[in-house]
């Protein structure tokens, strides 16, 4: 397993850290595969209830797919899209802790996270047109779905750079903070999510994404709703409310 994509699990929280700071966390094919393997490990462990994506000590969160791997469009598209699809399908909430600039395919990785917190001074752009590359159809669809057609066109047709408060204005970031405040901001959000009932949170994430994509499985959504009503966590929530204490949810 590569040491340029690291997985750390502590309690119910997993963190995947990109670890190639000398190249702004550029992702080679082996890194994409390692990233995917970590996601599979997380998906298979029901005790993990939240994932944080981090750029570690790099000045950038991620500069996208390594330029060395862009000679084969078919390989690049397949490996990156497989990873992004895998991340998007993860049931648990995902927080992207964007510690610096984010470029190219890394933008798509961040867009499928449920929450994105960035830092002052960071920039974002998507440069395939500078390299004679037609961005993948699914990736373009995600840009439109998350940011709107006009912003998508500005990103890929003119390679416009967005920075600072603009990233909040266009809906790419949920919040922007000073770089030295990022860890505390992400930790506070993570703790807030982890204090909630996991069946409800994970179920509503799936339902929300299905509605947004226009392919909601209504029977599956109904089953998730019924499961939450019948869960021990629902009873615990009611009991904690009546007793005026913090609920302790077990995910069942």
pLDDT of residue 2: 74
Strands 94-97 and 123-125: unpaired
Judge whether residue 76 has pLDDT over 60: no
Judge whether residue 72 has pLDDT over 70: no
For the beta carbon of residue 183, count every other beta carbon within 10 angstroms.
14
Q: How confident is the model at residue 1 (pLDDT cuts 50, 70, 90)?
A: low
**130-158 burial string, b = 16+ CB within 10 Å, else e?**
eeeeebbeebbebbeebbeeebbebbbee
The whole-chain average pLDDT of the chain stands at 94
pLDDT in tens, 135-168: 999 999 999 999 999 999 999 999 999 999 999 9
Judge whether residue 74 has pLDDT over 70: no
């Amino acid at each position: 397993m590569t040491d340029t994509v690291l997985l750390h699990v502590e309690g119910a929280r997993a963190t995947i850290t990109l670890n190639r700071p000398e190249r702004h966390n550029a992702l080679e094919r082996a890194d994409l595969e390692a990233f995917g393997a970590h996601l599979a490990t997380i998906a298979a462990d029901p005790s993990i209830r939240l994932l944080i994506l981090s750029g570690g000590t790099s000045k950038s969160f991620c500069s996208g797919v390594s330029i060395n791997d862009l000679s084969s469009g078919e390989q690049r598209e397949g490996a990156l899209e497989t990873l992004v699809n895998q991340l998007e399908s993860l049931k648990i909430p995902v927080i992207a802790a964007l510690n610096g600039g984010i470029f190219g395919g890394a933008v798509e990785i961040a867009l499928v996270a449920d929450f994105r917190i960035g830092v002052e001074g960071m920039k974002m752009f998507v440069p395939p047109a500078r390299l004679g590359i037609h961005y993948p159809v699914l990736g373009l669809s995600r840009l439109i779905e998350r940011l709107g057609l006009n912003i998508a066109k500005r990103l890929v047709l003119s390679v416009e750079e967005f920075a600072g408060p603009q990233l909040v204005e266009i809906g790419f970031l949920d919040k922007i903070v000073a770089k030295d405040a990022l860890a505390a901001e992400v930790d506070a959000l993570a703790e807030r999510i982890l204090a909630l009932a996991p069946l409800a949170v994970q179920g509503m994430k799936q339902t929300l994404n299905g509605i947004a994509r226009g392919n909601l499985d209504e029977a599956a959504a109904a089953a998730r709703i019924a499961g939450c009503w019948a869960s021990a966590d629902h009873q615990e929530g009611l009991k904690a409310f009546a007793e005026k204490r913090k609920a302790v949810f077990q995910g069942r």
